[in-house]
Amino acid sequence: MDSTPRRKSGLNLPSGMNETSLRLETFSSSSTFRAVTCVSSPRAISSLSSPSKTSSCSDRFIPCRSSSRLQTFGLIEKGSPVKEGGNEAYARLLKSELFGSDFGSFSSPAGGQGGLGSPSKNMLRFKTDHSGPNSPYSPSILGHDSGISSESSTTPRPPRKVPKTPHKVLDAPSLQDDFYLNLVDWSSQNVLAVGLGACVYLWTASNSKVTRLCDLGPNDSVCSVQWTREGSYISIGTHLGQVQVWDGTQCKRVRTMGGHQTRTSVLAWNSRTLASGSRDRNILQHDLRVSSDHVSKLIGHKSEVCGLKWSHDDRELASGGNDNQLLVWNQHSQLPVLTLTEHTAAVKAIAWSPHQSGLLASGGGTADRCIRFWNTTNGHQLNHVDTGSQVCNLAWSKNVNELVSTHGYSQNQIMVWKYPSLSKVATLVGHSMRVLYLAMSPDGQTIVTGAGDETLRFWNVFPSMKTQTPVKDTGLWSLGRTQIR
């Protein structure tokens, strides 16, 4: 019996294993340490009786929390004491600027909840980003000191400013004050056509050159004008019911077509055919590729047809009349596919949205005063707004989702609307009589309006398509008043 007393170990080891088989190796690394347990080979594990055989070591990686950026995710952080002689107030302010004002609650040197021994409740939970002054990317105390205002990042963009005065005015003698006529149109080649009495004049916007296209003589007068989409040919509707087609570049008449019994007050081109509306309540479809005057007749209105517009995809034709009806036609039937009767006055103002298929806007006369919006797919009215005066024309901007309306009794104003909120962008005044005529420039920025006061006024109301910048007061032409003939 061994009389030497065994030194009592603080480890509870299994039988057959002594303290020499277990040792702890410490590595001098600033970021990691390893606990290495040396045990016997697989055979020795079962027997635990061969300490002399070759041992194998296994280890596991334990990350160092001090090198992790836990404060970025709102987690705990090891306290970082300020160096001796350092500026403690500046260090706190710098941390607040970089990580937010709540950073100090985790990095307080006072200990408590900031040490490694007492985990935070936000452990393994991402920090919620509040877009306020605490955000490291928003202006704060240092921003104010450097002259940067925090209001610049939170203040909503101000509404777009539209010049309140026209940048050019043209005298248009003999411009008729007739609600049912359509005497002004602007081509895609930047040429403005105006019907004055029995003549049609062309005004080239690039050089302000005026050309008289035609004279119908003492027994006839111009009731409507409409350019083709390419801008090379122009159609003219006459008081005697004719439809004439002219070459706008060579000033030569190409075709004369009959079919209407009285004045042709409205015209509308699509990519292939021409539609004409008349006081005889009929709509005729003309095709220049065939010899007959018209290829079809659309019967549906009970009074004069004064509004006519093709959709941008050429699939639907909308017509308005003095019978207070708005009809929608397609190319496969000579009967209207939609009959909309919500207006209580003549419907002359019609415009298809270039931004949404099947969206149609229409405006009513003096007794109605409303602009109504329709879904032509199902015939439902989407919205309406009471403008307070007779709606004479509508035009949708192709650059932004806005539209412009011109008005007659009793305010004679021009209004720009934002869709779909129907909030007013601008209200323009300048004409002394009903603003009966409206056309838009090819770039979609300028509109021209005509009235019974025998003036044409040019307004910059829409921004350009590429740069959504406020419209400038100075336009393409110098401010002044000239004559169109």
List, for residues 226-265, the tens digit of each pLDDT value. Answer: 999 999 999 999 999 999 999 999 999 999 999 999 999 9
Q: What does the block give as tokens for 187?
A: 């081509």
Residue 181: which of 345, 369, 322 has the closest Cα?
322
Higher pLDDT, 6 or 484: 484
Q: How far apart are CA 414 and CA 393, in angstroms?
A: 10
pLDDT at 108: 44
Helices and strands in the chain: count of H runs, count of E runs: 4, 31
Contact between 155 and 468 (Cβ < 8 Å)? no
Q: For residues 213-224, give the mean pLDDT.
A: 97
Radius of gyration of the chain (CA): 41
> Which segment, 60-69, 331-340, 433-442, is predicted with the most confidence on average?
433-442
Query: Are residues 462 and 436 in contact, defined by beta-carbon separation less than 8 angstroms?
Result: no
pTM passes above 0.85: no
pLDDT for 26-58, tens place per residue? 444 444 434 434 444 444 444 444 444 444 555
pLDDT of residue 114: 44
With residues binned 3-state (H G I as helix, E B as strand, rest as coil), the percentages for the chain, rounded to 5, are 10, 35, 55
Average pLDDT on 422-442 reads 97
Which residues pair with residue 225 across a beta bridge?
Answer: 236
Q: How far is CA 400 from the centre of its chain?
A: 6
Extract the tokens encoding 342. 């919500």
C-alpha 52/C-alpha 226 separation (Å) is 107
The listed range with the strongest mean pLDDT (39-48, 109-118, 429-438) is: 429-438
At residue 17, the pLDDT reads 59
Question: What is the overall mean pLDDT for the chain?
Answer: 80
Q: Which residues pair with 256 in a beta bridge?
A: 244
Q: Is the torsion defined by CA of 62, 64, 69, 70 positive or negative? A: positive
Q: Is the dihedral of CA 45, 50, 51, 54 positive or negative?
A: negative
Assess contact for 50 and 43: CB atoms under 8 A.
Answer: yes
Q: Which two tokens stand for residue 405?
A: 């309306």
**What is the band of 90 on the pLDDT scale with cuts at 50, 70, 90?**
confident
Least confident residue range of 100-104, 203-207, 476-480: 476-480
Q: pLDDT band at residue 99, thresholds of 50, 70 and 90?
A: confident
Q: What is the mean pLDDT of residues 84-107?
A: 66
CA–CA gap between residue 426 and residue 48 (Å, rounded): 94
